[in-house]
């Protein structure tokens, strides 16, 4: 599949940000990092190229950094999202030895009231068509809602030149899976099934989508990205029965995979519960 760059001006960038003003991404200038260095990572709350506001530290329940050296739960003091930073959150991490790393963060659930028209538009643009169709079928398009949502973000980082590969039967000295296969245990999570840094543009990238630790079938997933400062047109597909999905990425650049799993809430006063997952990485 050939991807199409769709933004060419700041006016269009702003328009796209308004249509996708809900997403949370780990977004670096480059996902290729230097070993044994301090890295400040922007967290964008809006679109993949624009952040509308920062995420306060008290909303963060976990920050994880996984490398071949182990799994570190980073202290939330590394998360800078106060008013001094206006619209962007920053996370500071320390890299160690060369290899492929995973960095992730999970936020607390939060309630939000939405007018019917705003909620319907959000469902249409953010990739939640099943809920929109259910509202239409049940005659609820005019019903205001209260949604409980939480966002869970990850990125695959390549530190130095050592690309971690899967464990194989003949690698008897390799006692654990490489970092990119580690599941962080977030309520919604995307796990690469192949190391993105072992592939190049034009190859197939595959992923596993999880909700509450279990593969989620028939989940709508969005692939998008940025090339040269412009957004690439999104592609939408559904997971198979085992929660797996694959995309051929034929352009170099920075890319993301995302999904929103939304279900009716059994709790009184809350209409829907949504769990958001994003995964970002770079392709050369």
Determine, yes or no, domain membership for 66.
yes
Check pLDDT > 80 for residue 17. no
- Spatial CB neighbours of 199, under 8 Å, sequence gap ≥ 6: 205, 283
Residue 276 lies in a domain: yes
For residue 2, being part of any structural domain is answered with no
3 pLDDT band, cuts 50/70/90, is: low
Q: Report residue 82: phi and psi, to 5°.
A: -80, 180
CA angle 188, 190, 194 (to 5 degrees): 160
| Tally of domains in the chain | 1
**pLDDT at residue 269 is higher than 80:** yes
Q: Is the pLDDT of residue 8 over 50?
A: no
Neighbours of 72 (CB within 10 A): 15
Pairing of strands 145-159, 272-283: parallel
Distance between CA atoms of 243 and 76, rounded to whole angstroms? 31
Does any domain span residue 3? no
CB 119 within 8 A of CB 128: no
Structural domain of residue 163, as residue ranges?
10-283
The reply to whether 1 falls in a domain is: no
- Does some domain include residue 130? yes
Q: Give the global pTM.
A: 0.91
User: In the structure, what pLDDT confidence band is assigned to residue 83 with cuts at 50, 70 and 90?
Assistant: low
With b for 16 or more beta-carbon neighbours within 10 A and e for fewer, the 22-61 pattern comes to bbbbbbbeebebeeeeebebebbbbbbbbbeebbeeebbe
Task: Note whether residue 43 is domain-resident.
Answer: yes
Residue partners of 247: CB distance under 8 A and separation at least 6: 1, 204, 205, 223, 235, 237, 257
For residue range 184-240, list pLDDT tens digits in order.
999 999 999 999 999 999 999 999 999 999 999 999 999 999 998 889 999 999 999
5 assigned to some structural domain: no
If one counts every other C-beta atom within 10 angstroms of the C-beta of residue 4, the result is 8
């Amino acid at each position: 599949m050939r991807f199409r760059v769709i933004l060419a001006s700041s006016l269009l960038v702003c328009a796209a940000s308004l249509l996708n003003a809900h997403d949370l991404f780990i977004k670096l200038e480059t996902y290729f990092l230097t070993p044994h260095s301090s890295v400040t990572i922007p967290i964008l709350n809006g679109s993949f190229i624009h952040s509308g506001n920062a995420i306060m530290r008290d909303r963060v329940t976990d920050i994880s950094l996984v490398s071949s050296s182990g799994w570190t739960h980073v202290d939330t003091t590394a998360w800078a999202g106060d008013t001094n930073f206006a619209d962007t959150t920053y996370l500071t991490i320390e890299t160690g030895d060369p290899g492929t790393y995973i960095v992730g963060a999970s936020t607390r659930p939060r309630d939000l009231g939405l007018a019917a028209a705003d909620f319907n538009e959000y469902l249409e643009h953010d990739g939640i068509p099943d809920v929109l169709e259910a509202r239409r079928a049940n005659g609820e398009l005019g019903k205001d809602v209260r949604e409980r949502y939480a966002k869970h973000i990850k990125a695959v980082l390549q530190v130095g030149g050592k690309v971690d590969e899967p464990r194989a039967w003949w690698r008897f000295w390799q006692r654990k899976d490489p970092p990119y296969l580690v599941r962080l245990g977030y309520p919604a999570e995307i796990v690469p099934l192949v190391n993105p840094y072992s592939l190049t543009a034009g190859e197939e990238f595959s992923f596993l989508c999880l909700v509450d630790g279990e593969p989620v079938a028939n989940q709508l997933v969005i692939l998008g990205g940025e090339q040269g400062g412009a957004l690439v047109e999104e592609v939408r597909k559904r997971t198979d029965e085992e929660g797996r999905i694959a995309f051929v990425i034929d352009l170099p650049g920075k890319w993301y995979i995302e999904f929103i799993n939304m279900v009716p809430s059994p709790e009184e006063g809350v209409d829907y519960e949504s769990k958001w997952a994003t995964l970002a990485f770079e392709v050369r």
